[in-house]
Amino acid sequence: MKLYYSGNSPYARRARVAVREAGLLNQVEEINLGDRADRMDVLLANGPGAKVPVLATADGVAIWESLIICKYLDEVSGGKLYPADRAERQTTLQLEAMGSVLMDALFVRSREKRRDPGEQSPGVIELEAERARRTYDALEAMGSRLDGRLDNGCFTIVATLGYADWRHPDDDWRDGRPKLLAAYDALMQRPSLADTAPVF
Ligand SMILES: N[C@@H](CCC(=O)N[C@@H](CS)C(=O)NCC(=O)O)C(=O)O
C-alpha cells in the first residue's frame, strides 16, 4: 500500500498514526507530497478530491478521507483501532467525532486567516474559534474517561491538538484543562504520535 501525505496535515497525521497503531507500517510506503511539483497530478490520479491523505491499496483502489482510511486500516488489521465492546466503541466514536469537528474547525480558521486580509471573513474566524473553544472544553469535561484509552478517538484528538499548537498557539488549549493535558502528554509517549508530530 502507499499512503500519500504532506508533513503537517492533521488529516494525514491521523492516517499515519492509524497505520502505525494498526501494526501495518511494514506494509505501507509513506510518500510525502510536500511541495513536490507533481503533487496535483499524483493526487488527481487518485481521485477528484485532490487532498491528502490518500491510501492506494495493494488492490489498486484509492481511498481518501482520513476517517475512511482509518476504518479500512482497522479492517485490515483485524480491529486494532476500535474496541469490540459496544459501550467502549461508542465512546471511541464520540471522541473521534469531537476530534474531527475540532480538526475541521481549526483547519477552516487557519485557511481563512491565511487568505489575503481583504478576503478574510472575521465572522468565519470567530465562528470557528468559538467551535474550537467549546470542543476543548467538552474534551476536558470527559475527564478521567480519557485516561488509558488507546483508540482512534484518542489518536485523532492528539493529532488535532498538535495541529492547534502549530496553527493556533494563541488558543492555549492547555490553559485550565489539566485532564486533557495529562491525557495528551501520556499519549504523546507513543511512538506513533511522537514520530508523526508536526515540525514547525
Ligand atoms: N476531510 C478530509 C480533509 C483533507 C484535507 O483537507 N487535506 C488538506 C491538507 S490538511 C488538503 O489536502 N487540502 C488541499 C486542498 O484543499 O486543495 C480528510 O479527512 O482527509
What percent of the chain stands above pLDDT 90? 98
Compute, in angstroms, the gap from residue 196 CA to the centroid of ligand 1.
17
Nearest CA to ligand 1 atom 2: 65
Given a contact cutoff of 8 angstroms between Cβ atoms, the answer to whether 138 and 97 are in contact is no
Q: Give residue ranges with CB within 6 A of ligand 1.
A: 9, 11, 50-53, 65-67
- 54-56: strand order across its sheet: 29-32, 2-5, 54-56, 62-64
- Mean pLDDT value across residues 185-189: 98
Given a contact cutoff of 8 angstroms between Cβ atoms, the answer to whether 159 and 193 are in contact is yes
Distance between CA 67 and CA 152 in Å, rounded? 9
Distance between CA 74 and CA 79 in Å, rounded? 5
Q: How confident is the model at residue 35 (pLDDT cuts 50, 70, 90)?
A: confident
pLDDT tens-digit map of 169-186? 999 999 999 999 999 999
List domains and CATH numbers for the chain: 2-77 (3.40.30.10), 86-190 (1.20.1050.10)
* Chain centroid to CA 154: 10
- 64 DSSP β-pair partners: 54
User: Residue with C-alpha cell 495529562?
Assistant: 182
Q: How confident is the model at residue 143 (pLDDT cuts 50, 70, 90)?
A: confident
Ligand 1, pocket-test mutation among 11, 36, 70, most atoms within 8 A of CB:
11
